[in-house]
């Protein structure tokens, strides 16, 4: 899968996750089924959901920069550093969801694992193709660059 495809899939999934979190904020979805079943009152729910929404919006912002959908505000190196942090966060979240109190949240371990895989696909370096150009083939086969021109 190409990086841009992984970015697009991740952006779509993040939009759905944001809808889910706004559903919790608006009390359309009970907060008891989230955060490992550990939220005890509305105040905690608002704090945890605000943090989660911020984290997801930041990831969307980073992915848009990585995919050249918006002007980059950070260097590629900084964006990649943040994406590595997200990869670690989602891997840890996957483990946490496996041990969650609710079956609903245990199911989210699949979602966070998919997020981890997609971020890995975005971060991995592509191997350069052998013989990617006519110049490369000429140099490889004849030890010199191909000279094209009029004599």
Q: Where are the domains of the chain?
A: 3-142
Asked whether the beta carbons of 100 and 38 are under 8 A apart, the reply is no
CA triple 117-123-129, angle to 5 deg: 110
pLDDT band at 29 (very low <50, low <70, confident <90, very high): very high
Residue 39 pLDDT: 87
Mean pLDDT of all residues in the chain?
86
The CA distance from 49 to 30, in Å, is 12
Residue 150 pLDDT: 47
Asked whether the beta carbons of 121 and 3 are under 8 A apart, the reply is yes
Asked whether the beta carbons of 7 and 63 are under 8 A apart, the reply is yes
What are the angstrom distances between the C-alpha of 56 and each of 83, 101, 125, 134? 12, 23, 24, 44
Whether 33 has a pLDDT exceeding 60, the answer reads yes
Nearest C-alpha neighbor of 102 from the set 25, 47, 30, 17 = 30
pLDDT tens digits for range 50-86 = 999 999 999 999 999 999 999 999 999 999 999 999 9
pLDDT tens digits for range 123-148 = 997 666 665 555 555 555 555 554 54
């Amino acid at each position: 899968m190409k990086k841009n495809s992984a970015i697009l899939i991740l952006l779509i999934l993040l939009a759905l996750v944001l809808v889910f979190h706004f559903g919790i904020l608006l009390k359309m979805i009970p907060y008891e089924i989230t955060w490992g079943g550990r939220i005890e009152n509305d105040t905690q729910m608002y704090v945890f959901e605000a943090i989660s929404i911020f984290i997801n919006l930041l990831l969307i912002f980073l992915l848009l920069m990585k995919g050249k959908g918006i002007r980059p505000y950070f260097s590629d190196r900084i964006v990649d550093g943040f994406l590595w942090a997200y990869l670690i966060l989602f891997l840890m979240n996957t483990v946490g969801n496996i041990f969650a109190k609710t079956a609903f949240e245990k199911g989210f371990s699949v979602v966070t694992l998919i997020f981890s895989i997609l971020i890995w696909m975005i971060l991995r370096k592509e191997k350069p193709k052998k013989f990617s150009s006519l110049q490369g083939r000429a140099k490889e086969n004849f030890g010199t660059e191909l000279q094209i021109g009029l004599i």
